[in-house]
Amino acid sequence: MLVHIPGLLTAEEVATCRRRLDAADWVDGRITAGGQSAQVKNNLQVPEGSASARDLGDIVLRALGRNPMFNSAAVPLRVYPPMFNRYDVGMTFDTHVDNAIRNVPGGGRLRTDVSSTLFLTSPDEYDGGELVIEDTYGAQAVKLPAGDMVLYPGTSLHRVNAVTRGSRWASFFWTQSMIEDDRKRRLLFEMDMSIIQMRMAVPDTHVGVLGLTTCYHNLMRMWCTL
């Protein structure tokens, strides 16, 4: 399931991130890649654990917490601290799959059920750099406005096309969901969106709204793992 979340960050938050990233130290992105991914990865990243990464990550985490669509689509249990990458001209990340388990800085581990890319540069600032995700409908090329985010299953093969002009900046991270199965997450997300649409058309006390809401929460009880 691919989900486009528009305007996760405000224009002011995007500008703040851009200023901090412009002054940040960048290192070879292969330091956070697995053995196989490191062979096809060519980009730059802000070092994990740096003051810039922590401060910028807090901005992203606060935005996630206030966004109903993210919480509905991901059903988050734990979110990996957001990281930040950069693709300059000629840089790319060839086809790969994300590691299933990540060691969380500070301790613990996280299963990467949902992958996220939050765009921090506008499409007109660079050429190339599309995030290409392979799903059941074929390859989907994603290139979104600054502040927008895409969610997709961590099981997906994906790549970042080579940048041919400008520079592409983004935040990326993973979520361990309370709903491990992507098919079940999709069903619950679609049901939740239908409930929201129905509540805009009829009173909350309408029998249809009550029935759908009851089904939604009972499925959550059946399928959630905490």
Which stretches of the chain are DSSP H helices? 11-22, 51-65, 68-74, 182-201, 207-223
Task: Look at residue 17 and tell me whether its pLDDT is greater than 70.
Answer: yes
**How confident is the model over 93-143, as pLDDT tens digits?**
999 999 999 999 989 999 999 999 999 999 999 999 999 999 877 899 999
Segment 75-87 shows an average pLDDT of 97
- pLDDT tens digits for range 165-223: 999 999 999 999 999 999 999 999 999 999 999 999 999 999 999 999 999 999 999 99
The pTM for the full model equals 0.94
Q: Is 54 exposed, middle or buried (0-12, 13-18, 19+ CB in 10 A)?
A: middle
Share of the chain above pLDDT 70, in %: 97
Domains of the chain by range and CATH?
A: 3-177 (2.60.120.620), 182-223 (4.10.860)
